[in-house]
Amino acid sequence: MLVFISTFVPRECGIATFTRDLFDSLNTGKGIVAMSDRKYHYDERVIGEIKEDKINDYIKIAQKLNNNDDAKLIHIQHEFGIFGGEYGEYILHFLNEIKKPVVITFHTVLPQPEEKRKEIIQKISQKVKAIIVMNLESKKILEEDYNIPKNLIFYIPHGIPSVPLSDGQKEKKELKLEKNIVLSTYGLISAGKGIEYFIQALSEVVKYFPNVKYLILGETHPIVKRKEGEKYRNFLKSEVRRLGLQKNVWFYNKYLNTKDIEYFLNATDLYLSPILDPKQSASGTMSFALGCGKPVVSTSTSYAKNIIKENKGILVGFRNPEEISKAIIEIISNPQKMKQMGLNAYVESRFMTWDNIALKHLRVYKKYINISLKCPKLKLDHLKRLTDDYGIIQFANNTVPDISHGYSMDDNARALIVAVNEAEDNLANIYLNFIRKNQKEDGSFYNYVNKDRIVENGEIAEDVQGRVFWALGKTSKGKDIFDKALPYIKNIQSPRAKAFAIMGLKEEKELMKKFADDLVDLFVKGKNKKWNWFEDCLTYSSSRIPEALLFAYSNLNEKKYLDVAQKSIDFLVSKTFSKNEYIPIGQNGWFLKNKRRALFDQQPEDPSSMVELLVYAYEITKKEEYRKKAIIAFEWFLGKNHLGQVVYDDSTGGCYDGLGKNSLNINQGAESTICYLMARIAIGRVLS
């Protein structure tokens, strides 16, 4: 069990929200020790409570955790103001008592600290295994101003929810803002936010863009409200009246949950971050805005300088309405540029989604305890989203089905395999009917059908024919299609097509044997001391060929199929696994015999087929090495890849379309999503 010590929901506090999002992404169940300034009604995730001003609470909780064998590691979310004592020094009472490994995240790191603050931070650092910061500048400050060893400090950025990229038209229409250029700022309102300077800047902006609407979203910070009521909000409203901006500024005085924030950000054209503290180390609000694909105008805080580059927004000076208005006008006067900046913000923030941030935290935790990411539950949500009454749509624009390119036979065959496996009869019938409708008179299949559901004549791809045959072999409902296709399938020549077909030929043993013998002959002819393979190149789905031989072995019991399968598996593994990581063959050049292999443009189809091959090899041979390698290959989807980014999107049930050298393809099309599902189904058979 991981134990977090932090403020926690329902307390209205940025750290509480951060902790909830990170904790839930780690999927650990219970384990929150809540820091409380008053009574809150916590849910079952909270296992203990510390009243911030009670020293004895810190000591008792430490003793309780020491005696709890399930508590493996403690992660403290540190912010000045949530722990008692001068500069939050009461947390030292906990650290002096706890015997378990402790990791701490410093949400604020102040440069040139007073001697007492420096002393407390140094004492904390001596009691923990690791320190996490959200800003590279914070790392530098801890090293230089606090003399903390650099090997103790890890940089992990602030997390963001994974949300689809939206054009915001639906939200704008519902808010009656479809004719407005929408600017917004959100968060718990207090004087340090600097909103007045952005309101003052607006008086210049509206001269050129009278349809600008500035949304100031969120309630007053609870602590501020208890001390001074709505003094700051009333001041902001008086500024709006003084400047005659009543039609251009809208206050929404309510606490915003994550869905509310996403809704308003979707309606936003340009996000404004007016913070007055140049030392601000992290900003969840700005991070979320970027994650929703919004360009940003921000004051030049430490965090903003770390995350806002010129292709995503503009940094401005503090308390400088003239500079702020110029930046806003520069962006909104060029709608195409504003749209591109938003797209850049979205694409370049994918590494910050909570799934990715959880993964980065796990890598830190694993240095001190044995822990691993839990396998996501199987979700068919995106598969269903991509499927209409005719078939599965080939492409998606981000997560939205893009019908403009129509349907492919390949995808519907794959989808049929998944639907049959999961007993999704309605889906299976849709995919099967697609195959039936698009079978030619000679038994072969059209590969592409356009958005108007008209077949596109093109060169017949044998691999497609083989894959359809494989899918048909999974269901008795397609016997009429199978029988009609059989004469055509008998004459295919492609090794990969034969491999696909073998796995659909369980009831046609004679043809299965012929194709398996053909593959063995190809292996014998093609292999040498350095190249144990069937062809002179490794391309897509290479794993399917030895998988087909394993299938033939399990059905025909001829040992030569097993021997060749194992030799080719060992060769393929030697070329695709390195240092406990699976590295798919890149589509940007493939891997030709006696040439260098391509590393990039990695597609989900490759790790998917490798997972299925190794799982099947383990089930037949019981060799533990195959099971371990299957898990490693599956982890490619969960972030164990050269970008260190999660490729499966658990929020949608979809899978991103691939990894380039430096970035993720943010679209979630049919092939990638189905390939992930096939891998997930397979790996589920061998996970303990």
Q: Are residues 144 and 191 in the same domain?
A: no
258 and 147 inside one domain: no
Q: Pick the last residue of a domain from 127, 155, 183.
A: 155
Domain membership of residue 202 (yes or no) is: yes
Please say which residue of 306, 336, 352 terminates a domain: 352
Same domain, 327 and 396: no
In a domain, 376, yes or no: no
Q: Give residue 458's pLDDT band: very low, low, confident or very high (50, 70, 90).
A: confident
- Model pLDDT, residue 688: 66
18 and 82 in a common domain: yes
Q: Which of 312, 335, 352 is where one domain is finished? A: 352
Number of domains, the chain = 3
Please check whether residue 649 lies inside any domain of the structure.
Answer: yes
What's the CATH code of the domain at 577? 1.50.10.10
> Whole-number mean pLDDT of the chain?
96
Asked whether residue 271 falls in the same domain as residue 301, the answer is yes
Is residue 56 included in any domain, yes or no? yes
Angle, helices 409-421/462-472, rounded to nearest 10 degrees: 20
Are both 134 and 188 inside the same structural domain?
A: no
In a shared domain, residues 516 and 597: yes
Q: What is the spatial distance between Cα 343 and Cα 270, in angstroms, rounded to a whole number?
A: 12
pLDDT in tens, 161-201: 999 999 999 999 999 999 999 999 999 999 989 999 999 99
Assigned domain for 64 exists? yes
E strand spans, 130-197: 130-133, 153-155, 181-186
Pair (418, 498) in one structural domain: yes
- Domain holding 109, by residue range, is 2-155
CB 182, CB 292: distance < 8 Å: no
Query: What CATH number is given to the structural domain containing 69?
Result: 3.40.50.2000
Q: What is the pLDDT of residue 459?
A: 77
pLDDT at 531: 94
Distant-in-sequence, close-in-space partners of 580: CB < 8 Å, separation ≥ 6: 632
393 and 324 fall within a common domain: no
What the block records as the tokens of 376 is: 């996501």
Q: To the nearest whole percent, how much of the chain has pLDDT over 90?
A: 94
Tens of pLDDT, residues 221-254: 888 898 999 999 999 999 999 999 999 999 999 9
Residues 403 and 324 in one domain: no
211 within some domain:
yes
pLDDT digits (tens, 9 = 90+) for 272-282: 999 999 999 89
User: Is there a single domain that holds both residue 558 and residue 677?
Assistant: yes
581 lies in some domain: yes
Phi, psi angles (nearest 5°) of residue 125? -65, -30
The answer to whether residue 9 is domain-embedded is: yes
Give the H/E segment covering residue 14: helix 14-26
What are the tokens at 317? 């000076």
In this prediction, residues 119-148 reach a mean pLDDT of 97
The yes-or-no verdict on residue 373 having pLDDT over 80 is no
pLDDT at 539 exceeding the cut of 70: yes
Residue 549: strand, helix, or coil: helix
| Residues 595, 463 within the same domain | yes
Q: What is the mean pLDDT of residues 110-139?
A: 97
What per-residue string of b and e applies to 570-599 under the rule 16 or more CB within 10 Å gives b?
ebbbebbeeeeebbbbbbeebbeeeeeebb
pTM: 0.88
Model pLDDT for residues 62-71, shown as the tens digit of each residue: 999 999 999 9
